[in-house]
Structure formats: structure tokens, C-alpha cells
Amino acid sequence: MEQLLRNFFLYLSKNMTLTAAARKWGLRFGASRFVAGETIAEAIATVRDLNRKGLLCTLDHLGEFVFRVEEANESADYCIRTLEAIHQAGVNCNLSVKLTQLGLDISRELCVGNMRRILDAAKRFGNNFVRIDMEDYAHNETTLEILEELLRDYDNVGTVIQAYLYKSAADIERLKEKRVNLRLVKGAYKESPEVAWPDKADVDENYKQLIRQHLLNGNYAAIATHDDNIINYVKQLVEQEQIPRDQFEFQMLYGIRPQRQVELAKEGYRMRVYVPFGNDWYGYFMRRLAERPANVAFVLKGLFKA
């Protein structure tokens, strides 16, 4: 049943009609638990509150798969305004972006141009860090190629490696000498067993191996997990290998296990919260339901209270 629910919500996440309708509804039906408002001001207020609790943040203006040049450029402009707002507010926060939101499906040149504009702005506004989110497998290799191109001119950019993909260990080795700050995740898209492990136990084991590989390479790891087994594995690994705490951080999604986030920060670990915002929340919300079907109960409660 859990796998059926996961497949169902992943299918819904790609439905363009429902995506368009969701933009009109606003953050209803439980989505506001996972999305920090629709405007930059609302997002900054959330970040400020999280910072007060000892938590670092990264903001993500939601959106993906744009198909018009104007939309891609507007998305880049919005990212730049977000970086400026972070700088002006003096909050401890990075930025995450998706290449499809910046025009990757229109043209690579357009996308890279928009990324350069964003990275230049990040340099101007306090030399902030920008994370390129990894999307579905169809965009994986191109994303890595663009990252490698950008790394020739910028040192404030990194990306994400997904543990459910067979190729990820080779990708970490490929980036080893570039000293890239990588976010390591299990993966949230529905992929073919030809490219990804279908069994959770295999994904979990590969995730541990990727964490170990990247940390022992001496590079910075952002370990994005809500799984206590993985968290405990990391704690034991860094103690055994004498890896300094400033070489890694834990990351969790806004709205999921907030008390655990504060606990880790109080234990002296860097703890960063991934904070999405904007009106294009539908696909992101559906993937959160797919990852953890228990979240559906929360949404149903919200519906009946409405």
C-alpha cells in the first residue's frame, strides 16, 4: 500500500493541470506545513525565526519545468531578489535553485547564463552559497556538466547527489578533486530500476557508503535526512574517523521533525533547514507526500477542519 501511495503522489506531482490549479488555490490543504509562505518577505520571516532557534537555512523559490524564456529569466530575477533580501535581513541562509526553473529545457545557454547571473549576485551579496538542486534522472548528467563548467569560475556553487542512483558513487569520485560542497540525499523522484535501486534497504546502504566516501575524501557534506539510523551512523562515523564538525552539516526539510532539528543544533551540530516558498508549491508538496505517506493524515485533518 505504501508503494502504491508513493507512486500515486509522484504521478500527481507531474500533472500540469493540477499544478496550474494549485497556484490559484494558495497554500491550502496542509501545504503550509511544508512551504514557508508565498512571498520573499514571508520566507525571510520564517528564516529569521529558525535562526533564533540556532538553525541555519537555505531558501528555495519553488518552481520547475518552465518552457518560456520570459519565465526562466523571471525566475532568475526572483532568485537574485531573494539573495538581496537575505543579505539585507542579515539572516544566515543560502539559496537553492533548480536548473529547469532557469530554462534548462529551453536551452542550455539560457540556463547557464541565468546561473551565472545568480552566482554573480551571490558574490555581491556577501559571497553567499548557491546549491543546484538535482532533479529527475533525465536532467542528472547535464546538471553535473553545468556544475563542472561553473566551477571553473565560481567557488560558491554546489549540487546534490542522490543515493538511489547506481551512478552516484562514480559521480562523487568524479567531483572529488573539485572540492565540491555536496548535499547527499536518498532521492525523491520515481525512476526506472535500470538506473536506480527500487528497494529501500539498498538505497539506505548506498546512502551510508556515499556519506563515508565523500567525507573521507575530505570534502564538505550536507547530509539531508530525517532518518535517525542515518543520523546515528554519521555521528559514529565522524567520531571514529575524527572528522571535524565544520566539515559537514545535517539538513532537514521545513515542517518535518522540527524538534529534532533543534535537538541536533543544541548538540553542537550544524543543522540547516531547507525552506521552500512561493506559489508554485504543488509538485514539491506531492513529493513530500510520496516520501512519507503518513503526511497524508496531516493533510486530511486539515481538509476536515477547513
Provide the whole-model pTM: 0.85
Contacts of 202 (CB under 8 A, 6+ apart): none
> What DSSP designation does 56 have?
E
Considering the candidates 6, 183, 272, 287, report the single residue annotated as catalytic. Answer: 183
**Residue-averaged pLDDT of the chain:** 87
pLDDT on residue 38: 86
Give the closest residue to 281 by CA, choosing from 13, 70, 6.
13
163, 186 contact by CB (below 8 A): yes
> pLDDT band at 293, cuts 50/70/90?
low
Bridge partner list, 59: 95, 275
182-202 pLDDT, tens digit each:
999 999 888 999 999 999 999
178, 171 contact by CB (below 8 A): no
pLDDT on residue 266: 98
Contacts of 101 (CB under 8 A, 6+ apart): 61, 63, 64, 65, 66, 72, 75
Burial class (CB within 10 angstroms; exposed 0-12, middle 13-18, buried 19+) of 177: exposed
206-239 pLDDT, tens digit each:
999 999 999 999 999 999 999 999 999 999 999 9
157, 97 contact by CB (below 8 A): no
Give the closest residue to 123 by CA, choosing from 163, 98, 150.
150
**Separation CA 159–CA 161 (nearest Å):** 7
pLDDT on residue 34: 82
Q: Is 133 a catalytic residue?
A: yes
248-283 pLDDT, tens digit each:
999 999 988 999 999 999 999 999 999 999 876 666
Q: Is 260 a catalytic residue?
A: no
Cα dihedral across residues 90, 52, 215, 169: positive or negative: negative
Domains, in order of start, for the chain:
36-280 (3.20.20.220)
